[in-house]
């Protein structure tokens, strides 16, 4: 049965939720599910903005028929070709053969790659072009690499509405309300939104900054993303744009220290916790993560969240312990940068993990080491504990000075 939600006069939400999918993109755990959003605007012409993942296609098609209310579908605007939004494309085109597909050249080429689609009835648009629906005008804004190269957005000045594709989206299924101002976003969605941002588009901060510049030139009173709630309240929109500005400039969101450790028999954990306690007792927030126990997508988001990070790991097979090496490579793949960091290594006969971690980190931009790496020989002794405490004090003082703008 259809479950259409009205956003405003003539604008409808047609999407659905998947609360069963374990791994989004086969990579990211989504215990709170995910929504796939699609929107219909009814003017003198009707326009559908994107489709949905195959998981919610049947509901979506029922919603589309209900919202159209017997009218024909004139336009299908395709902003992004990733199948979580395009998987239902062919079923829409087959169900509404009179529809004109509105999109850019890159999407048009991809449509033929994904589907047995001959490219007929495609209206190719360029950056900044407009298309009138009657009372409203669609303006097309390109947003390459947010999150694929073909991505574009649509702005409707008469509605002050931005259809933002993946940008401003989040993991997390929607409940009864689809509006950000009717959920506890900061409490229930922010961690997922941050994790979504850094794992999906975090590598493309420059491109996100370009989108924010385009958004700054538009009067936006509503943001309709492809995942997560719709934004329509001015303070909420300003808050969200502010988060994206900080995230895409690779600036820390919070002052604090994320301590990431791996530990085979507990000694490196012991070192990491002695260090963390020394930082915390000076009034500086610390979070501690066992890199082998936490999902890498969560740790990636936390590493970007805080101003300072510590990597503590074991030497293993004459290298870095496996899960820490994977984590560091994932940080590198997402252009991690602009943080203060400290290193702790452990080894029973040839402690080298710190040197190898340093070799990886020195390739990252704007990273500044605090203190010297601390080497643990098998287990923490008094002398090693003293060095860990001195490092902890140096990190805490740096956080506090940075917080003061020092
Ligand atoms: Fe939600 Fe890049 O797809």
List pLDDT tens digits, range 106-119: 999 999 999 999 88
Atom of ligand 1 nearest to the CA of 36: 1
Determine the longest span between alpha carbons in the chain, in angstroms: 79
Confidence of residue 123 (pLDDT cuts 50, 70, 90): very high
DSSP classification of residue 189? I
- Average pLDDT on 270-286 reads 98
Residues 287-299 pLDDT 10s:
999 999 999 999 9
pLDDT higher than 70, residue 383: yes
pLDDT higher than 90, residue 165: yes
- Percent of the chain surpassing pLDDT 70: 100
Q: Do domains 5-248 and 254-400 have the same CATH topology?
A: no
User: Which of the listed CATH numbers 3.40.50.620, 3.30.70.1290, 3.40.50.360, 3.30.43.10 matches domain 254-400?
Assistant: 3.40.50.360
Domain extents in the chain: 5-248, 254-400
So what's the pLDDT on residue 404?
80
- Average pLDDT on 205-210 reads 94
Centroid of ligand 1 to alpha carbon of 84 (angstroms): 6
Centroid of ligand 1 to alpha carbon of 398 (angstroms): 38
Residue 152's alpha-carbon distances to 15, 211, 310, 316, in angstroms, are 19, 10, 38, 45
Ligand 1, atom 3, lies closest to the CA of 82
So what's the pLDDT on residue 126?
98
pLDDT higher than 80, residue 194: yes
DSSP string for 88-150 = THHHHHHH-TTPEEEE-HHHHHHHHHHSS---TTEEE--TT-EEE-SS-EEEEEE-TTSSSTT
The pocket around ligand 1, CB under 6 angstroms, is made up of: 80, 82, 84-85, 147, 166, 226-227
pLDDT higher than 80, residue 406: no
Centroid of ligand 1 to alpha carbon of 320 (angstroms): 33
Task: Label the pairing between strands 374-377 and 254-261.
Answer: unpaired
- Average pLDDT on 163-176 reads 96
- d(C-alpha 247, C-alpha 62), whole Å: 37
pTM of the model: 0.96
Domain 5-248 bears CATH identifier 3.60.15.10: yes
């Amino acid at each position: 049965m259809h479950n259409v939600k009205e956003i405003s006069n003539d604008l409808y939400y047609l999407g659905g939720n998947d609360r069963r999918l374990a791994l989004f993109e086969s990579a990211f755990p989504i215990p709170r599910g995910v929504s796939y959003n699609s929107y219909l605007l009814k003017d003198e012409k009707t326009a559908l903005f994107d489709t949905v993942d195959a998981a919610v296609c049947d509901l979506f098609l029922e919603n589309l028929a209900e919202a159209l209310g017997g009218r024909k579908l004139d336009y299908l605007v395709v902003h992004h070709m990733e199948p979580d939004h395009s998987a239902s494309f062919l079923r829409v085109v087959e169900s509404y053969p009179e529809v004109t597909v509105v999109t850019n050249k890159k999407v048009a080429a991809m449509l033929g790659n994904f589907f047995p689609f001959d490219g007929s009835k495609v209206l190719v648009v360029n950056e900044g072009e407009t298309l009138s629906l009657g009372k409203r005008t669609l303006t097309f804004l390109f947003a390459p690499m947010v999150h694929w190269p073909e991505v574009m957005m649509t702005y409707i000045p008469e509605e002050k509405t931005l259809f933002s594709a993946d940008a401003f989206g989040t993991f997390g299924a929607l409940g009864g309300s689809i509006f950000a101002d009717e959920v506890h976003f900061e409490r229930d969605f922010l961690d997922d939104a941050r994790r979504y941002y850094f794992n999906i588009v975090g590598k493309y901060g420059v491109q996100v900054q370009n989108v924010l510049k385009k958004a700054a030139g538009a009067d936006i009173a509503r943001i309709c993303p492809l995942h997560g709630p719709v934004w329509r309240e001015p303070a909420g929109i300003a808050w969200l744009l502010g988060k994206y500005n900080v995230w895409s400039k690779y600036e820390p969101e919070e002052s604090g220290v994320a301590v990431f450790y791996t530990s085979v028999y507990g000694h490196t954990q012991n070192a990491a916790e002695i260090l963390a306690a020394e930082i915390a007792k000076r009034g500086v927030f610390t979070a501690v993560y066992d890199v082998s126990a936490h999902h890498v997508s969560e740790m990636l988001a936390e590493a970007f969240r805080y101003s300072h990070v510590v990597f503590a790991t074991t030497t293993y097979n004459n290298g870095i312990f496996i899960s820490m090496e994977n984590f560091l490579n994932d940080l590198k793949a997402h252009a991690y940068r602009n943080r203060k960091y400290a290193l702790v290594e452990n080894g029973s006969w040839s402690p080298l993990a710190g040197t190898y971690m340093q070799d990886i980190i020195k390739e990252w931009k704007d990273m500044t080491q605090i203190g010297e790496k601390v080497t643990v020989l098998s287990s923490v002794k008094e002398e090693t504990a003293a060095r860990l405490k001195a490092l902890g004090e140096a990190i805490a003082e740096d956080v506090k000075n940075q917080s003061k703008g020092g």
